[in-house]
Amino acid sequence: MLRTNTAFLQFVEQLFEDKQAGNAIQLKSFAAGAHLIRQGSIISQVYIIREGITKCYIAEDNGKDYIFEFLGTGEITGELEAINKGACLSNITALTPVTVFTIPHNRFMALLRSYPEFNELLLKVLAARIYQTCIRTSYQQLYPVEYALLRLLSLEASQQTFFSKKDMAAYLGISVRSFNRTLKDLREKNILDKEGLNIDLSKEQLEQMIKRFEDA
Amino acid sequence: MLRTNTAFLQFVEQLFEDKQAGNAIQLKSFAAGAHLIRQGSIISQVYIIREGITKCYIAEDNGKDYIFEFLGTGEITGELEAINKGACLSNITALTPVTVFTIPHNRFMALLRSYPEFNELLLKVLAARIYQTCIRTSYQQLYPVEYALLRLLSLEASQQTFFSKKDMAAYLGISVRSFNRTLKDLREKNILDKEGLNIDLSKEQLEQMIKRFEDA
DNA sequence: CTGGGAGTGGGACAAATGTCCCGTTTAATT
DNA sequence: AATTAAACGGGACATTTGTCCCACTCCCAG
């Protein structure tokens, strides 16, 4: 859910240090809540997150948002636009203070050509995103919200991160009301510890809980 | 919805002709209904569709399927597995008789390195898939089924393709019953021409729909 | 402090979607 | 032509989810 990529970050850090290769790479900072990228706009750099957490989401014109992913350290964004030269697909906003490396599109594409290793890292990122997105989409479409919610909570717990309910609901593609309701149902079924939302599930445990729901 | 990619196909055709570069590339055929790839299995080639239409879907263990995309001429599949070396994400089955080029993983990766042009074509494919998937997912999560259905029908009409209701429902992530119901509602609202599936929207809905159809 | 805004929690009702089921149509096979 | 399996269409009912609304807390700028 919160994606990070140390290998990628390391590579970019190195480039940045390098007088030669790094000359067009810059650092930029954003306050929490600031927009890094605005959906529909045209940008001319890619961003690699050095520090902080962002959310990546589409705002539909019925006023609802859908969050695709939370991007953390080492994640790249704006790369689709560099590759396909289109308008920005989504919004990126900072959830915490954020620092990024920026690389101009043409430089970025050139780097891909000159550093096969970098190119391969990017291929892996893209492949991983497709992979994850597919799994998540399928899951969210074909299972009741309850399952997706448990899964999300479990991820959140394992990553020690916490998001607002609004964001969590937007990540699940549901209303905050549904989110709350489902949470309450789970609580009443004693599935969640009432103290906090600390659930600490392994995949097997999750399976078990899901099975338990079935009879009740 | 039905993706195709002539540039990619051409490139692979050329490789195939080339004695040197094409020596590991093979042709393979499948009857309609056959599995090209089975979810969870391990494969060692990528497939590029030369002819025919396939569906790419995940089967969840509650018995439901989610179709990500219909892949046609020039589309590649199995590439995620080549890049990330994991088990197959999804099933690929032939909807029509299908002929594919197969390229062994290591050969495929080598080709990416030796042909920057090929590498770039692949980057574009991956980027386009992420792009499309994001748009579609968001749309399907945040709008009533009615909209997604209209969009799907319009795409289908514009591409002159026809899929079974089961497949269309699986593409939308809903049950066949819901699919039928929504279709009926639309018919009763005179939104659809009864003759064929000629979309004939009226009123503001038309404008809104058109706008959305454009990008996909 | 203090008023306002954002986040939270949930009741009541409406709308959307799923499940179960059965009769009909279509298409392919014998 | 007869038979069968699959696809289609939809009724009845249950469940899920959304919308609208209000009350409560918390926090911060004035």
Residue spans of the domains in chain A: they are: 2-137, 143-215
The answer, yes or no, to whether residue A111 has pLDDT greater than 70, is: yes
The answer to pTM > 0.85 is yes
CA distance readout (Å), B101 to B24, B95, B176: 10, 17, 34
Binary contact (A131, B68; C-beta < 8 A): no
pLDDT level of residue B127 (50, 70, 90 thresholds):
very high
Nearest CA to B3 among B75, B62, B83, B81? Answer: B75
Pairing between β-strand B26-30 and β-strand A45-51 as defined by DSSP bridges: unpaired
pLDDT for the residue A84 = 92
pLDDT for the residue A194 = 34
pLDDT level of residue B90 (50, 70, 90 thresholds):
very high
pLDDT for the residue B213 = 39
The answer, yes or no, to whether residue B197 has pLDDT greater than 90, is: no
Whether the beta carbon of A146 falls within 7 A of nucleic chain D: the reply is yes
The rounded percent of chain B whose pLDDT value lies above 70 is 88
Task: Report the nearest residue to nucleotide D21, CA vs C1'.
Answer: A177
Element (DSSP H or E) covering residue A173: none
Task: Report the nearest residue to nucleotide C20, CA vs C1'.
Answer: B177
Strand D, CB < 7 A, residues 80-119 of A: none
The answer, yes or no, to whether residue B214 has pLDDT greater than 70, is: no
* Residue A200: count of CB within 10 angstroms of its CB: 10
Output B156 or B39, whichever has higher pLDDT.
Answer: B39
Report, as an integer, the average pLDDT of A35-47. Answer: 95
Task: Suggest the residue from A105, A118, A123 to mutate for an interface test with chain B (most B CBs closer than 10 A).
Answer: A123
Report, as an integer, the average pLDDT of B105-128. Answer: 96
pLDDT for the residue B24 = 92
What angle, rounded to 10 degrees, do the helices at B176-188 and B165-172 form?
Answer: 100
pLDDT level of residue A191 (50, 70, 90 thresholds):
low
Nearest CA to B175 among B149, B201, B157? Answer: B149
User: Would residue B166 be called left, alpha or beta, if left means φ above 0 and alpha means ψ between -120 and 50 degrees?
Assistant: alpha
8 A C-beta contact, residue A127 and residue B82: no
pLDDT level of residue A1 (50, 70, 90 thresholds):
confident
The answer, yes or no, to whether residue A114 has pLDDT greater than 70, is: yes
The answer, yes or no, to whether residue B201 has pLDDT greater than 80, is: no
8 A C-beta contact, residue A108 and residue A43: no
Residue A109 corresponds to which tokens in the numbers above? 């594409």
The per-residue DSSP string of B47-105 comes to EEEEES-EEEEEE-TTS-EEEEEEE-TT-EESHHHHHH-----SEEEESS-EEEEEEEH
Who's near A194: CB < 8 A, 6+ residues apart? A187
Whether the beta carbon of B35 falls within 7 A of nucleic chain D: the reply is no
pLDDT level of residue B190 (50, 70, 90 thresholds):
low
Residue A143 corresponds to which tokens in the numbers above? 């299972």
Distance, in Å, from the CA atom of B32 to the CA atom of B26, rounded to the nearest integer, reads: 20
Interface of A with B (CB under 8 A): 58, 60, 62, 64-66, 68, 79-80, 83-84, 86, 89-90, 112-113, 116, 119, 122-124, 126-131, 133-135, 137-143, 173
CA nearest B78 in A: which residue?
A127
Binary contact (A66, B137; C-beta < 8 A): yes
Binary contact (B135, A58; C-beta < 8 A): yes
Distance in Å from D23's C1' to A126's CA comes to 46
Residue with tokens 């492949």, as numbered in its chain:
A127
Distance in Å from C27's C1' to A74's CA comes to 56
The rounded percent of chain A whose pLDDT value lies above 70 is 88
Residue range A2-137, CATH number: 2.60.120.10
Question: How many A-B residue pairs are in contact by the CB < 8 A criterion?
Answer: 104
The arrangement of secondary structure in A143-215, i.e. its CATH architecture, is Orthogonal Bundle (1.10)
Residue B26 corresponds to which tokens in the numbers above? 């093979």
The rounded percent of chain A whose pLDDT value lies above 90 is 69
CA distance readout (Å), A33 to A30, A166, A179, B22, B79: 8, 14, 23, 52, 37
> pLDDT tens across B155-177, in order?
877 777 789 999 999 999 999 99
pLDDT level of residue A157 (50, 70, 90 thresholds):
confident
Binary contact (B173, A130; C-beta < 8 A): no
Point out the least confidently predicted range of A3-7, A131-135, B161-165, B175-179.
B161-165
* 3-class DSSP assignment, residue A36: strand
pLDDT for the residue A190 = 61
Distance, in Å, from the CA atom of B129 to the CA atom of B133, rounded to the nearest integer, reads: 6
